[in-house]
């Protein structure tokens, strides 16, 4: 859908967005074209080594950490660890739907992690908004200056690390970008109205970095090599993660600084609570 959307001319996009905007957004016209790939091979091949007694001990610790996340409030970290220990290797969505059209986890990260909000506002929006605005205004003029035009936009994906404890433990380092569209419509007094609709996208591979260690809630520190061996001996399996936020709107006429301030999506319940999302994502 994102590729099809980009192949349309700006005026046609404006007409379709006016007539079927909600359906088109739900279908994925704002999805990024960036094709993420894992940065490295992680811990290596899955289930290729024989487990040792120490591996069994690490597995016991990991299971306790996964269960303890529900108690300490780090539900996302608990869910992701449990998914690792399930050994399926299936990709996990960070945009877990609760009710309808609420992309909980990426919105929750934006709510919880001020550094992430700053990254989105400065590195993705501020760095690009003037160029995006001008490109859309140019298309508006080409179309005669009297019809709404829509121009798809996407920022460059960059690598960052979440700083808030729960999301550092749940995801940590990741790739992030912003994708969406700039809309220009005829305004009063001949001044066009320009706005940006965008979503925030996150990608990562759940794995462990050799030579490092991680301290979990409760003060338990485990070398990443030990956690990664659970993948090598078949007790757990690494997996891909991705997600996108809800849609945010930025007025590009006002010159105001972007501000991403999502409401708290809520963290009631535990990893096993059905309100946390689909079964395959826990």
| Torsion angle, alpha carbons of 90, 96, 100, 104, to 10 | -170
Q: How far from 221 is each of 42, 83, 85, 166, 211, CA to CA, in Å?
A: 20, 20, 18, 15, 13
Q: What are phi and psi of 53, to 5 degrees?
A: -60, -35
Residue 102 confidence (pLDDT) above 70: no
**% of the chain residues with pLDDT over 90:** 67
Which tops the pLDDT comparison, 198 or 220?
198
Sign of CA dihedral 259, 244, 63, 53: negative
Q: Which of 129, 124, 214, 119 is nearest to 169 (CA)?
A: 214
CA distance 131 to 236: 45
Element (H, E) at 16: helix 10-27
Q: Are 108 and 267 in contact (CB under 8 A)?
A: yes
Residue range 25-30: mean pLDDT, rounded: 95
pTM of the model: 0.86
Residue 100 burial by CB count (10 A; 0-12/13-18/19+): exposed, middle or buried?
A: exposed
Q: What integer pLDDT is reported at residue 256 of this predicted model?
A: 66
Strands 92-93 and 173-185: unpaired
Q: What integer pLDDT is reported at residue 279 of this predicted model?
A: 30
What's the pLDDT tens digit per position in 246-276?
999 999 987 666 667 665 555 443 333 222 2
Q: What integer pLDDT is reported at residue 101 of this predicted model?
A: 37
**Helices (H), ranges, 40-183:** 53-72, 75-86, 104-112, 114-118, 129-142, 165-170
Residue 72 binned pLDDT confidence (cut-offs 50, 70, 90) = confident
Q: How far from 261 is each of 22, 165, 245, CA to CA, in Å?
A: 22, 19, 12
| Torsion angle, alpha carbons of 168, 60, 242, 25, to 10 | -100
For the chain, domain boundaries: 1-31, 46-146+156-252
Which tops the pLDDT comparison, 134 or 278?
134
Q: What are phi and psi of 153, to 5 degrees?
A: -140, 155
Q: Are 175 and 206 in contact (CB under 8 A)?
A: no
What's the pLDDT tens digit per position in 172-191?
999 999 999 999 999 887 79
Q: What integer pLDDT is reported at residue 261 of this predicted model?
A: 65
Tokens found for residue 66: 């996964």
CA distance 223 to 138: 54
Residue 281 confidence (pLDDT) above 90: no
Q: What integer pLDDT is reported at residue 68 of this predicted model?
A: 83
């Amino acid at each position: 859908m994102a590729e099809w959307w980009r192949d349309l001319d700006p005026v046609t996009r404006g007409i379709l967005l006016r007539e079927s905007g909600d359906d088109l957004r739900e279908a994925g016209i704002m999805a990024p074209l960036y094709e993420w790939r894992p940065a490295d091979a992680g811990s290596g091949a899955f289930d290729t080594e024989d487990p040792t007694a120490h591996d069994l001990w690490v597995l016991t610790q990991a299971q306790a950490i996964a269960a303890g996340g529900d108690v300490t409030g780090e539900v996302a970290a608990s869910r992701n660890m449990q998914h690792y220990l399930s050994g399926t290797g299936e990709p996990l969505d960070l945009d877990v739907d609760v009710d309808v059209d609420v992309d909980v986890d990426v919105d929750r990260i934006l709510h919880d992690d001020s550094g992430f909000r700053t990254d989105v506002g400065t590195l993705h929006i501020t760095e690009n908004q003037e160029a995006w605005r001008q490109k859309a205004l140019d298309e508006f003029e080409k179309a005669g200056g009297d019809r709404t035009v829509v121009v798809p936009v996407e920022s460059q994906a960059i690598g960052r690390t979440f700083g808030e404890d729960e999301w550092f433990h749940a995801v940590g380092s990741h790739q992030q970008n912003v994708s969406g569209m700039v809309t220009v419509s005829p305004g009063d007094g001949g001044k066009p109205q320009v706005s940006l609709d965008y979503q925030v996208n996150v990608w990562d591979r759940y794995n462990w970095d050799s030579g490092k260690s991680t301290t979990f809630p409760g003060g338990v520190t485990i070398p990443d090599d030990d956690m990664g061996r659970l993948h090598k001996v078949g007790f757990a399996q690494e997996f891909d993660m991705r997600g996108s936020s809800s849609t945010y709107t930025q007025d590009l006429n006002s010159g105001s600084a972007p501000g991403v301030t999502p409401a708290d999506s809520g963290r009631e319940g535990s990893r096993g609570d059905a309100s946390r999302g689909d079964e395959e994502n826990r």
